[in-house]
Amino acid sequence: MIRNLLRILVAVLATQAPVTAQEAVELVPAAAGEAATALVVRSTTDYLILRPALQAFVAKNPMVSVIYEQWGSNALYANSLSACKGEVAQADAVFSSAIHQMVDLVNRACASPYRSDLTAALAPSRIWRDELWGVTHEAAVIIYNTSLVPESEVPRTRFALLDLMRQRGQTYQDKIATYDIEASGLGYLFAFADSLEATTFGALLEGFARSRAIATCCSAEIIKRVATGRYLIAYNVLGSYVDAIASENIGVIKPEDYTLFLSRAYMIPRGARNPAASADLLDFLLSSEGQSVLAKSKLVDLEDSEATGLPISARRDIRIEPTLLVAGDQHRRLRLIGQWRSTFKK
């Protein structure tokens, strides 16, 4: 009976948002048959990748069912802001890769505070105001088709990618892809971080324009099209998705000049119906068991610098902190998007 009611609720939730905003609704049913608490999680993470962690959490908490809503990052931010204003129903947890948008939500007083031994143990770069927590650890990588890109041309730094676009421009015309920063909050975040870090940023934009590079919305689409050879190289892709989506013919490079690392941010919204269950899920994801499950799903990068050849100095954590509010500054955003539009003409 309880499972049937939950499935009906999932069906109802699936009709409450446009398909272009809410991409999927899934149910992880409670192990217990009665009196289950329905925990509504709204997230940008692909359900199939996060499912093992959610199933492990439910197994340890048999009185909790998880209703998982998968959203695009911009749509999730808009929905969370509307929920904060009381215009739409509130989630119990919001979990997003677009951490600049999450920082903005916290700054707008949309979050509930929580503290535990596990949250307190987080690195300062992965926690803000006891209201936002970085749960994963994922690299932004360059991927390439191993069957079609010769080893001698594999770009292991941004400077090598620039040289490749200059010297082999005809080969790579229309064959390089990255995120569309207007459609993807994550893509915007990576581009913003690059604009602060990279002396190569302007040159990269020029190279992308000259190569007629493609800006598109989604990790899955980019990775699948590199695997099939539609694209030969993709820049600033979340490495955690590669194995889960299409590992054949895909090579992965952590740029040696610097590699961005992202921690997806978890928030317990103000007004959540089940904040205790949401806090329990957060603690589970931060626990050794939860981190182990996330690592198996490639959402936690456990490789050290010696194993990857990437020196510590080349690691750039995107910190969860108020300086990310600059990324949402209207003038800064319009300027960056203007540069992007002139590079990736549609």
Max intra-chain CA distance, the chain: 65
Mean pLDDT value across residues 56-73: 96
Residues 6+ apart with CB under 8 A from 143: 222, 223, 226, 233, 234, 237, 239, 242, 250, 251, 252, 253
* Angle (CA) 302 306 307, round 5°: 55
Kindly indicate the confidence band of residue 10, based on its pLDDT and cuts at 50, 70 and 90. very low
Helices 201-210 & 185-197, crossing angle to 10 degrees?
Answer: 120
DSSP assignment of 70-109 equals EE-HHHHHHHHHHHHTTSSPPPSEEEES-HHHHHHHHHTT
Mean pLDDT value across residues 92-120: 98
pLDDT tens-digit readout, 234-265:
999 999 999 788 778 999 999 999 999 999 99
CATH number of the 2-137+263-296 domain: 3.40.190.10
Same fold? 2-137+263-296, 138-261+312-343: yes
Q: How far apart are CA 70 and CA 28, in angstroms?
A: 13
Counts of helices then strands in the chain (DSSP H, E): 14, 14
Q: How far apart are CA 209 and CA 204, in angstroms?
A: 9
Kindly indicate the confidence band of residue 19, based on its pLDDT and cuts at 50, 70 and 90. very low
Contact indicator for 44, 13 with CB cutoff of 8 Å? no
The sign one gets for the Cα dihedral 153, 158, 161, 163 is: negative
Top CATH class of 138-261+312-343 equals alpha beta
Mean pLDDT value across residues 73-79: 96
Mean pLDDT value across residues 92-104: 98
State residue 243's pLDDT score. 79
This model's pTM is above 0.75? yes
Q: Is the pLDDT of residue 20 over 80?
A: no
CB count, 10 Å around CB of 111?
24
Kindly indicate the confidence band of residue 8, based on its pLDDT and cuts at 50, 70 and 90. very low
User: Average model confidence (pLDDT) for the chain?
Assistant: 90
State residue 18's pLDDT score. 41
Q: In the chain, where are the structural domains located?
A: 2-137+263-296, 138-261+312-343
Residue 271's region, left for phi above 0, alpha for psi from -120 to 50, else beta, is: left
8-state DSSP, 313: G
pLDDT tens-digit readout, 284-332:
999 999 999 999 999 998 775 555 667 888 999 999 999 999 998 999 9
Residues 6+ apart with CB under 8 A from 192: 100, 327, 332, 336
Kindly indicate the confidence band of residue 31, based on its pLDDT and cuts at 50, 70 and 90. confident
Beta bridge partners of 185: none
Q: How far apart are CA 114 and CA 305, in angstroms?
A: 33
Tally of residues, the chain? 346
State residue 34's pLDDT score. 59
pLDDT tens-digit readout, 170-220:
899 999 999 999 999 999 999 999 999 878 999 999 999 999 999 998 899
